[in-house]
Amino acid sequence: MRRIVHIGAVVATTAAVIPALAAFGPAQVPAEAAPEEDGAQSTPLTVEDITPKSIGSTSTVRISGQVTNTTDSELGDVSVRFRYASYPFSERFELDSFASGEGPEPSVEAGEAELDGPIAPGESAEYTLRTDAADLSLSSWGVYPMVVEAIDGSGEDVGSQRTFLPYRGGGSAPAPVDIAWVWPLADRPQRAGDDTYLDSSLQDSLSPEGRLGRLLTIGAQSDEVSLEPETPGEGTSPSAHQAPPGPSPSVSAEDASAAAAAANAPDESTQAQDGAGDSSDVPVTWALDPGLLADIERMTSPYQVAKDPQAAGTQGASPAEDDGGTATASMEASPQAQLWLEQSRTALADDSVASTPYASADIAALLRHGLSDDADAAVSLGRSTVERVLGRSADETVALPRNGLMNTETREFYQRHGATTFLLRDAAMPAKPQVQHTPTAQAPVALGRGEQGTALVADSGLAEVLRQDASRPGEAALAQQRFAAESAMIAGEDPGVQRTVVAYPPLDWNPGAEFAQGLLEASRSLPWLKPVDLADVEPTGSDAGQNRKDLTYPQRGTSAELGKSYLQPIKDLRGRVRLFNSILVDDEDPFRPAVLRLESAAWRRENDMAAPARALVEQALERHMDKVRILPTEPVTLASASGTIGILVANDLEDHAVRVNLSMLPDNPERLNIGNYQDTIEIGPGQKTTVYVELSARVNGRTMIRMNLHNLSGEPVAEEQYLPVNATGMGFQALVISGLGALVLVVALAPRALRKWVRNRSGGTAAAVGAGEGAPDASTGQGGDTPGETSAAAADVQDNGDDSASAPPADSADSAASAPSTEDEDGPGGADTGR
């Protein structure tokens, strides 16, 4: 059963209030908390509750809180009172001026209460003021200034707080204003790569007291949604942000109990009092960032958290390790993340859901800088992520431009993706100068070709109230009172016209639990507000939108976009991602979510983490690229003319099959020839394959082969490898060349060898004839044997002399044998032998 926790129902004493509010986390703390923990004692006076939020003519005003002695001496005779003005505010801007301390102080005093005993330094005392609205003599319907103050016995001011007193009496109450709530569930991107988180803040945020935990459970308005873990043997305990079920806090004014004193006294508008009106839920439209859902879903399995992401962005080294060991801490799967997702499916099952593009990508900047493909991908990935994680789809007709601003190009982009309703801020379609009241939120937007869409313009004044930090003691009550005052002023500006306001907090909204609950409760209980579903707000009538200017894009919108200097490194990264994707078999894009997270509009303000996030993604990409590689090979020795070698190619990617081309080129093709081999290779996840290559050596010696992996377009995708090949056996071609060389040598030397042989033979015959006749040599007078030997030796010398010069004609041997000079040299014996 759905319910709203009634904030107005508090007990009469702070002793009962403090334990009840302790579960709200940082929004409420015990009075004795140390100043350095939460700053509670820096405020001498706190206002913890004002009931009712609006008073009627018969209401009883009740204000409670505490006074803290922040001095070094004891405070005695302290009393608390409130002062108010007898005339209401006339314009909304006066609320800001009064809250900031400008303007005159209210002068009418009421509801004084004295504190029991003195207050020692550092101690606190509780107070409760009560007064009847009839005694205030308020003149008419409206919002009145009010100051709650504490003074000591000497009349010196101890502390004060300015706030507002909405009065709904006087018989001139305006018609209720419709209020449509947009409830954000968004955050900055939490991851760099898919597995590495920038810090552990997301885990803390998902707890019952964390930001996302509070937003989910409070926005759900249901006892069925709880982030408290189940106790064994018991059912799920109620959320820390929800009070246990009980009777209606509305009680009779005559009830003398403390609980009755805390509740509103009934008057003529009892059904409009806090907690006494319609008990149904306040309709909310959830504004989701699909990237956040994906970040939380990833935590449901083991993940990594970067120990020092800033260092990763400056070192340029892989974050896997550094001098201090691993740069990431391994985390177990988060039960809290699992519980948050389960409860979100329950909470959002029946409510309206609108989503930003994935990771709140900066659509305006992407379109401006030529990254429209990424903008399209952010929308499609965002929608599929919502469907996968929540089991339901978001409303594709509602667009959530960043900061509620959009130019024409952005509007056309969302329109192409099915949007007809655009949630904007006042700056995008401000009121016309002559309009003196808050225009209704809905206005028509021209979509071109005669089509018309709807702009829902969130009120900037309410947005400022919602943006307040109401987490410290006393701030929640004052912030709720400001919300009541703002909405009352809107209702009173143009009481005769039906209007709608959109309450749209910033996407990084971080309200205290008490404040957030009080806002929804006030939307339901304040008599001038009527909660409606955002999906039901549409322009009506022929004058719809006439009080607002046409769609505009202020200069501050352009200035806030991610600029060229930021996006250029991401463009370079996208080039490397494209190269990696080009080798994947199944046309995958695993780094697309990471790139979109880097393009988030959240980095407009939190750019201190943007560079480390990009560095971590770049390093993760390089590690993935390095997993597709040629394994190092030992040097190859060819002992014969040819041989076959095996080249091992590995795909160490665990989730992706790859397709690559292998190229092998020798440094000296004249020495080594590479035969045919399978150059296109497909390798499954975590597998290796061997490519067999035939080599043939042309000459002996060492040659280097360069080996590369390419995508199908020829772009290199891995580091080049070198393979030394040493040929030690003569190759076939070398043998042929050597044989031909030997043949040429033989042909060239054969005539010379034959000539020598003929000469030697001729000389031998002549010597033999001379020896047989026994004739003595006339010149020497020696026996016949000696002259024959001398002649043969002379013939050898002459032949050697011919060899050292140029080669003679082929018939020179015969002519030399019959020449006359030969007869003179050889003597008569020689001439006779020649004849």
What pLDDT is stored for residue 309 in this prediction?
84
Q: Domain segments of the chain: what residues?
A: 31-173, 196-230+279-303+334-554, 564-626, 628-730, 746-834
- Mean pLDDT score, 71-86: 92
CA 746 – CA 739 distance, rounded (Å) = 11
Buried b (16+ CB within 10 A) or exposed e, 431-462: eeeeeebbbbbbbebebeeeeebbbbbbbebb
Task: Tell me the residue ranges of DSSP E strands in 54-199.
Answer: 60-68, 79-84, 108-114, 124-132, 142-151, 157-167, 177-185, 196-197
- Backbone dihedral angles phi then psi of residue 738, each to the nearest 5 degrees: -65, -40
The kind and range of the H/E element at 570 are helix 564-581
Architecture of domain 628-730: Sandwich (2.60)
Do residues 656 and 706 touch, judged by C-beta distance below 8 A? no
CA 306 – CA 308 distance, rounded (Å) = 6
What pLDDT is stored for residue 539 in this prediction?
85
> What is the percentage of the chain residues whose pLDDT exceeds 90?
59
**What are the residues whose beta carbons fall under 8 Å from the beta carbon of 164, sequence distance 6 or more?**
95, 98, 143, 144, 145, 146, 481, 482, 484, 485
**What are the residues whose beta carbons fall under 8 Å from the beta carbon of 344, sequence distance 6 or more?**
185, 216, 293, 390
User: Band of the pLDDT at 736, cuts 50, 70, 90?
Assistant: low
Architecture of domain 196-230+279-303+334-554: Alpha-Beta Barrel (3.20)
Beta-bridge partner residues of 113? 80
Q: Which of 483, 476, 474, 481 is nearest to 514 (CA)?
A: 476
Q: pLDDT: is 43 or 710 the higher one?
A: 710
Do residues 50 and 481 touch, judged by C-beta distance below 8 A? yes
- Model-level pTM? 0.76
User: Band of the pLDDT at 8, cuts 50, 70, 90?
Assistant: very low
Most confident of 265-269, 271-275, 386-390: 386-390
What pLDDT is stored for residue 793 in this prediction?
38
Q: Indicate the pairing of strand 177-185 with strand 529-532.
A: parallel
DSSP-based three-state secondary structure for 317: coil
What pLDDT is stored for residue 313 in this prediction?
56
- Mean pLDDT score, 569-589: 94
pLDDT exceeds cutoff 90 at 323:
no
141-150, 480-489, 769-778: least confident range:
769-778
Phi-psi region of 174 (alpha: psi -120 to 50; beta: other; left: phi over 0): beta
User: Band of the pLDDT at 46, cuts 50, 70, 90?
Assistant: very high
* Helix, strand, coil percent values for the chain (each to nearest 5): 35, 25, 40
User: Band of the pLDDT at 521, cuts 50, 70, 90?
Assistant: very high
**Averaged pLDDT of the chain:** 80
> Is the fold of 31-173 the same as that of 628-730?
yes
Q: Which CATH number fits domain 31-173: 3.40.50.1370, 2.60.40.10, 3.90.480.20, 3.40.605.10?
A: 2.60.40.10
User: Band of the pLDDT at 240, cuts 50, 70, 90?
Assistant: very low
Rounded-to-10 torsion of CA 708, 714, 717, 723:
0
CA 139 – CA 118 distance, rounded (Å) = 38
CB atoms within 10 A of CB 430: 16
- Backbone dihedral angles phi then psi of residue 689, each to the nearest 5 degrees: -140, 150
